[in-house]
Structure 1
Amino acid sequence: MKKHACRNCRSALFFENSRCAGCGSDLRYSRKERAIVPLDASGAYVDRDGKSWHVCRNLGLSGCTWLADREGGQCFGCGLTRTRPNDADAAGLSQFVDGERAKRRLIAELDALGLPIVTRSEDPQGGLAFDLLSSADANVVIGHADGVITIDLAETEDAYRERMRAQLDEPYRTMLGHFRHEVGHYFETVLVFADGERTRAARALFGDDTKDYQAEIDRHYAEGAPEGWPERHISRYATMHPYEDFAETFAHYLHIRDTLDTAREHGLAPGAPAAGAADGSASFRDVVLDAWLPLSVALNEVNRSMGANDLYPFAIPDAVLDKLEFIDSLIP
């Protein structure tokens, strides 16, 4: 996440700010400019091309601080949400605010990487959409199917999420992590399986994705991860099926890119972007080894100094570096 500053008074801003603490200006996020911009006296923002942008209608519902392209409309990010808790579900609506906040960070990162987001209106069969569901009265299974990502909003609650993390023996579990993992399934479909050469390359790294998915799930929960898995996978869950290996690795690619870029913005990492150099002199493998590993070790030690768990409790073996390199090759 890059640093933001108020265009009126230069005070520091954060991604979710809707008002400047320095000068009191009303603010919104412009997806087009990837910047926090001030509203004019009429409550609108006029961009450099003369187009007027307006407050997203979901400001009160989900705390959305993004701009919509028409008055009374919703922003691009909110438009990706297909289903939300009903108005009578007070707990679900409270969780919905935190779920949408994590989703907006995901969309902003995908935009920064130049990854294509095709909406459901553009592609009714495979476009990206989100069902953000309350599990207060019904079980919700987090997952992806044909472009639709389903999220259990109960995962926004720290106590619930920590209980699930411990129950599943996971080292890390966050709402943003769920979004990053599930969108990995989406991008494997649109960026890998749509191209024969990329599909063959992915299968050489992640395995044969034509294996029966349900049978592999049953095997995983009956037998656990195979012996020696840390030498080839980023997590136990990644061993379940090649689909999950790709999605887990994709999520870690986003973790690494975003955290390194944020650290660079705040002067905590070298100035080079968290990607291979344009002239081919560096690879994403080099970025991980030379920048990410030293930074993540330092951040883990900082967390331990505060009595907290490691920020990044993972090891990255050589085989995973190859997989991260492949995912980096998909980035425009």
Structure 2
Amino acid sequence: MKLFACQACGNVVYFENRNCGRCGHRLAFLPEKVTLSAIEPAGSTWRTLADGGEGRVLCANAELDACNWLAEAGSGERYCRACRHNGTVPDLSDPVRVAAWRELEVAKHRLFYALIRWNLPLKTRVQDPAHGLTFNFLADNPAQGQKIMTGHDNGLITIALAEADDIEREKRRLEMGEPYRTLLGHFRHEVGHYFWDVLVRDAGHLEACRALFGDDAMDYGEALQRHYAEGPPPDWQQHYVSAYATTHPWEDFAETWAHYLHIVDTLEMAAEFGLEVKPSADHIGGLSARIAFDPYRAEDFDTIVSAWLPFTFAMNSVNRAMGTRDLYPFILSPAVITKLGFIHDLVKGVAKQRSASPRVAALV
């Protein structure tokens, strides 16, 4: 994630901010420029101070305080590039569910920031009724004994509204024995299943993917039952980024995909602050890193992982000094780094191909 500043007064602002805390200007995100802009009323539309553009409209979900993005100028779209992928949203007459949905939208918009940075192919259900990417935000129905499970099915990603409850999410994390469970993590994982379909299965990379992640033809239901009955193999950390990744090759890919997004977006934020890891103790080796590059544009994964490992060791140490859990409680073995490199090459290859074709890029 980048650092953003209000163009009206120079105040540093967050990606999720609706207004500048210093000058009060309204703020909105311009997805095509990947920047947050101060905006001013221009009749029934808005003028963007970031580029002097006019005639912009806020996403329709801004009226519900669930979005701070702008729709494309002159597009006639009511929703922004992130919200037009929404399918079912919660009952808007229920303030508790609306509040939970807003929390989920924060995570979803951060996901789309990364997908847009890479210029990855994104089709809505309108563009592709059978396979388009869409999100259903669903609530449990205790009266009918219905408990919503977060998951993916052929482009349809279901997000359980209950995950927005910090207490419920922490309860599930402990029950599942997970070191990490966040809303953003859910979105990054589930969209990994979608991009396995799009970038692996449908793009001729299936055999290369199977060589690293295993045969995805194995029965998924049986694999899931076996995982919950037996748990991961004792040596799983040598081959997988998480215990859940051992379940099935699909889950291994989705978990690895999610971690690639974790790494790149976090390193971009570190680079924006000019962070450098340089231990003062002379006898400590291999822990230095100067994060002065754009990980979204890094040509090789070695550059990324060489900065990530020292950075996370430093940040984990800082977190422990505060008595909190590690920022990144995972081990990246050589086998996992190879899998992450596969994801990197996959993403970079598609991004280059699409960027070289203005017509294709315009269809994102």
Matched, 1:233 2:240: yes
Greater CA deviation, 320-329 or 84-93?
84-93
Residues 12-23 of structure 1 mapped to structure 2, 5 A cutoff: 12-23=12-23
- The answer (yes or no) to whether the contact 1:299–1:311 under 8 Å persists in 2 is yes
Q: Is 1:86 aligned to 2:107, yes or no?
A: no
Mean Cα displacement is larger for which, 255-264 or 46-55? Answer: 46-55
Give the superposition deviation at 1:57: 2.1
Q: Structure 2 vs 1, CA of residues 120 and 71 (structure 1 numbering), >3 Å: closer, same or farther?
A: closer
For 1:15 and 1:277, the matched residues in 2 are separated by 23
Q: Is the 8 A contact 2:117 2:296 kept in 1?
A: no
The answer to whether the Cα contact below 8 Å between 2:135 and 2:157 also exists between their aligned partners in 1 is yes
- For 1:301 and 1:98, the matched residues in 2 are separated by 29
CA shift at 1:60, angstroms? Answer: 3.6
Is 1:287 aligned with 2:287? Answer: no
SS in 2 for 1:24: coil
Task: Report the CA distance between 1:265 and its aligned residue.
Answer: 0.5
1:32 aligns with 2:32: yes
Contact preservation (8 Å) 1:165, 1:171:
yes
Please state how far the C-alpha of 1:50 moved relative to its aligned partner.
5.7
Match of 2:284 in 1: none
1:23-47 residue CA offsets vs partner (Å, 9 max, x unmatched): 2222211111111122233351368
Q: Specify the alignment match of 1:153 in structure 2.
A: 161
Q: Helix, strand or coil: the match of 1:39?
A: strand
Q: Deviations over 1:70-116 (max 9, x none)?
A: 68922221111100111333322110010011101100111112222
Residues 156-215 of structure 1 show CA distances to partners (whole Å, capped at 9, x for unaligned) of 11111111000000010000000000000000100000133x111100000000001101
**CA–CA distance in 2 between the matches of 1:309 and 1:16?**
25
Does 2:313 match 1:309?
A: no
In structure 2, stretches of 5+ residues that fail to align are: 277-290, 352-364
Contact 1:37–1:45 (8 Å) recurs in 2: no
Gaps of 5+ in 1: none
Change (3 A) 1:330 1:72: closer
Instruction: Indicate the residue corresponding to 1:116 in structure 2.
Output: 121
Identify the residue that residue 213 of structure 1 maps to in structure 2.
Answer: 220
| Contact 2:199–2:346 under 8 Å retained in 1 | yes
Name the structure 2 match of 1:106: 111
C-alpha distance in 2 between matches for 1:30 and 1:277: 23
Provide the C-alpha distance between the structure 2 equivalents of 1:126 and 1:275, rounded to a whole number of angstroms: 27
The answer to whether structure 1 residue 257 and structure 2 residue 278 are counterparts is no
**Identity across aligned pairs (percent)?**
44
Relative to structure 1, the CA distance from residue 221 to residue 90 in structure 2 (aligned partners, 3 Å threshold; closer, same or farther) is same
How many residue pairs end up in the alignment?
326
CA RMSD of aligned residues (A): 1.9
- Greater shift after overlay, 153-162 or 134-143? 134-143
Using the size of structure 2 for normalisation, the TM-score is 0.85
C-alpha change, 1:230 and 1:13, in structure 2 (3 Å) is: same
Q: Residue in 1 aligned with 2:359?
A: none
Matched, 1:320 2:336: yes
Code of the aligned partner of 1:218: Q
The 3 A distance-change label for structure 1 pair 169 and 30 is: same
Equivalent residue of 1:37, what SS? strand
Asked if structure 2 preserves the Cα contact closer than 8 Å seen for 1:83 and 1:131, the reply is: yes
Q: Displacement, 1:48?
A: 5.6
- Decide whether the 8 Å contact of 2:66 with 2:101 is kept in 1: no
Question: Structure 2 vs 1, CA of residues 276 and 22 (structure 1 numbering), >3 Å: closer, same or farther?
Answer: closer
**TM-score normalised over the length of structure 1:** 0.93
